[in-house]
Amino acid sequence: MDSDSKNIGKIFVTEEEIQAKVKELGQLITKDYAGKNPLLVGVLKGAFIFMADLIREIDLECDVDFMAVSSYGAATRSSGVVRIIKDLDADLTDRDVIIVEDIIDSGLTLSYLKKNLLARLPQSLEVCAMFVKEGLQKTNETVKYEGISIPPDFVVGYGLDAAEKFRGLSYLAAYLKD
Ligand code: IMP
Ligand code: MG
């Protein structure tokens, strides 16, 4: 889908590498949450594909909810100002919550989300992020379930967009500006 576009550069992570990592993360979560009923909180829109793949690799009864936040607007740099566009339906009180993120860049979005969700008194709160950009984190948030480390370039695919495009690519590639 759109894979011949002149805006698509080097492939950083192939579809096979993504699927293998998602499987590994799912197995880890299955082991760590044995006997529990975790609530996966997906951060829209970027995490929708990762969430769909991840939940099928977790061999537990999981609940799912989504939250939509905006940290970039149409820009390609995080401003640190996070806006909640859609809040959760679920009550987090005493739940084992796992935030499911597409990518950690500056970490500012995650930092805000963790603070916001912790205030709702969950039993536990962990983070599962598919991609983490090397060297860009401005915060010290711990990501218990960390997927694949990538260079600090702007990337698209596997749910990630550039101005809403390229989310449907099955791999992760560099985005080349016009
Ligand atoms: P942070 O607050 O800088 O960590 O940015 C987090 C959010 O920005 C992610 O959840 C993504 O939705 C988006 N984002 C960060 N880097 C990229 C990128 O390279 N491509 C597309 N979206 C990105
Ligand atoms: Mg996101």
Reading the chain (178 residues) residue by residue, the pLDDT tens digits are 567 789 999 999 999 999 999 999 999 999 999 999 999 999 999 999 999 999 999 999 999 999 999 875 555 556 667 889 999 999 999 999 999 999 999 888 899 999 999 999 999 999 999 999 998 676 777 899 999 999 999 999 999 999 999 999 999 999 999 8
For residue 111 and ligand 1, the question of a CB distance below 6 A is answered with no
Distance CA 49, CA 43 (A): 11
Active site residue 105: yes
Predicted TM-score of the model (pTM)? 0.94
Residue 2 near residue 171, CB atoms below 8 Å: no
CA distance readout (Å), 3 to 34, 45, 145, 162: 39, 20, 29, 14
Q: How far is the CA of 137 from the centre of ligand 1 (A)?
A: 11
